[in-house]
Structure 1
Amino acid sequence: MRAYEELLGELFTVVPPPLMLLILLAVTALVAAGWYFFPAWIPRRLPRFTWRRQRKPRTKRIKRAKRSTEKQATSSPETVKQTRSSLADQLAGQGRYAEAIRERLRDTVADLTRAGVIDPEPGTTAAELTTDATTGRPGVGPALTGATGLFSGVWYGRAPAGPGDDQRMRELTTEVRDTLDAGEGR
């Protein structure tokens, strides 16, 4: 205990108490700032050592990148439509009619979004979707109302879906798509 008192006595003879208080406040502020901004100054991961893994030559990586951009460039909105429709057809072929109905409605929402009729947000209900679409383009109203009603009955009303429901949904979504392509109801 005596050594501690002698250390403090020596320290206060060299550094005046007001300056010591200022230094302690500065150190406290630095610790608090470090604590507050903790994740920003800690590295996200340990550094990698390159000798553990041999990298592929740069030319192969460039060729692979070119091939992937060529594949991306070939996908068009028509390809996306066919993929979505084929997914709905696959689901219907497996007897999963409720999921096929949901996929067909998703396809219709994507078409309406691409056409600029609606701007869907997460959490949009089927009724809100119909209201927004008929406000933007009244010609799609009857078919879209039928499609969202069928979807709501199957998904929210838990009505069993069958092949007839899937066929009806296919007809309604085709009608909405034809109305969009024709540009009716503007």
Structure 2
Amino acid sequence: MGRCKWVDVSKPDYVAYHDNEWGVPVYDDRVFFEFITLEGAQAGLNWYTILKRRQGYRDAFADFDVHKVANFDQDKIDALLLDEGIIRHRLKVASTVTNAQAFIAIQQEFGSFSQYVWAFVGNEPVINRLKPGEYPPATTELSDALSKDLKKRGFKFVGSTIIYAFMQACGLVVDHNSDCHCCGALVKQGDKFIASYKE
């Protein structure tokens, strides 16, 4: 079965993430908050380091309930810095709380974070169909624009490289190689796109 070049097929959880999540359009705000948190935590690290700790992050950050996280106080942040299930980086942990507050402000302004973020791609996934063996870019004009707007709204750890990875993870951008079995698997249902193997 063909897969994107970056997938380490010796790691079943890595394969499952690629096959079932990466590039699948997201419309659930909880999932968006999870990925913006995980991608920010990845800064300076590799994705597998974060993927292995995903359950730890869910446990630490109230299953990514944005309202609960927005109310974490300094004592809670200090406690999280002792939690071995996550990356214990003070600025990254603290940014999750401020990002939650900024996330809620977007929900209040646009109705949902989903509506806000999908507008950046015209409400349709950007499908690139990379050549076999080709790696996707680190940033694009779209990730530059979204990164800039998120920073303006108070988000931290949302540089363009992090945001492009976030867009890929959430299916705003689809960067599967053309010889990958997931390439071309999106279908439109109503006003949303799903992976055809998830029908």
Q: Same fold (TM over 0.5)?
A: no
Structure of greater relative contact order (alpha carbons < 8 Å, 6+ residues apart): 2
What TM-score does the superposition give when structure 1 sets the normalisation length?
Answer: 0.30
Structure with higher helix content: 1
| Structure with bigger gyration radius | 1
What TM-score does the superposition give when structure 2 sets the normalisation length?
Answer: 0.29
